[in-house]
Chain A
Amino acid sequence: GAVVSQHPSRVICKSGTSVKIECRSLDFQATTMFWYRQFPKQSLMLMATSNEGSKATYEQGVEKDKFLINHASLTLSTLTVTSAHPEDSSFYICSAWEQENSPLHFGNGTRLTVT
């Protein structure tokens, strides 16, 4: 079946540094990928929709200058958390679908801790 690979699975960084998270579709092309954030005991919150070859669409309240998304190819989207602060500590997970409204394929997620 279709696989989405997300790296790293866990990262600890110092406040003020930037962290890049990669999301790859391994055996299918994904023109659209989604980035979610999950706070403890809450649902997956959509941060942005990443579109290959064009700018990402950010959800209301998500700072696009802080969470940079690049979807440079049909198999790779990256999320860069710039100038990270402790409040950015969270669980980030990406997903993609092979075609619109097919089931989403998820990465394993990234646990970010900013000290």
Chain B
Amino acid sequence: ILNVEQSPQSLHVQEGDSTNFTCSFPSSNFYALHWYRWETAKSPEALFVMTLNGDEKKKGRISATLNTKEGYSYLYIKGSQPEDSATYLCASLNAGGTSYGKLTFGQGTILTVHP
């Protein structure tokens, strides 16, 4: 069973602050890493799917990096806005064993951006 860990569990920042959080995952049989944003009362929305070591993706003020050798990904938000408040989930997709083809989710990081 894969263990995907996210830290911190929750985070409070002021509007305009930049922030980042971490997703760690087992590096063996790695296939892809997904990031999702989950706003209250809505469905999770995909941010990024990353597959290559050293990959860096950007969507507006949000960016993510990937290190598959050491098994971690960082999500960065530049100039946080109140509308960025959400739970950010990462999930690892592995290509081997009993975890083949299944996304394993972390617990999420709850971000609150205060005006």
- Note whether A and B form a binding pair: yes
A interface, CB within 8 angstroms of B: 4, 6, 34, 36, 41-46, 49, 93, 95, 100-109
B46 within 8 A of A: yes
Q: CB-nearest residue of chain B relative to A103?
A: B46
On whether A108 and B42 interact (CB within 8 A), knowing A43-B4, A43-B105, the answer reads yes
Which listed residue, B4, B32, B43, touches A101 by the CB 8 Å rule? B32
Q: Shortest Cβ distance from A93 into chain B, in angstroms?
A: 8
Interface size counted on chain B using CB atoms at 8 A: 23
Q: Which residues of A contact B104 (CB under 8 A)?
A: 46
Whether A104 and B34, one on each chain, are in contact in the complex, defined by CB atoms closer than 8 angstroms, is yes
Interface string of B17-53 (1 = CB under 8 A from A): 0000000000000011010100001111110010100
Whether B34 and A103, one on each chain, are in contact in the complex, defined by CB atoms closer than 8 angstroms, is yes
Q: Shortest Cβ distance from A50 into chain B, in angstroms?
A: 12
Which listed residue, A42, A93, A104, A105, touches B103 by the CB 8 Å rule? A104
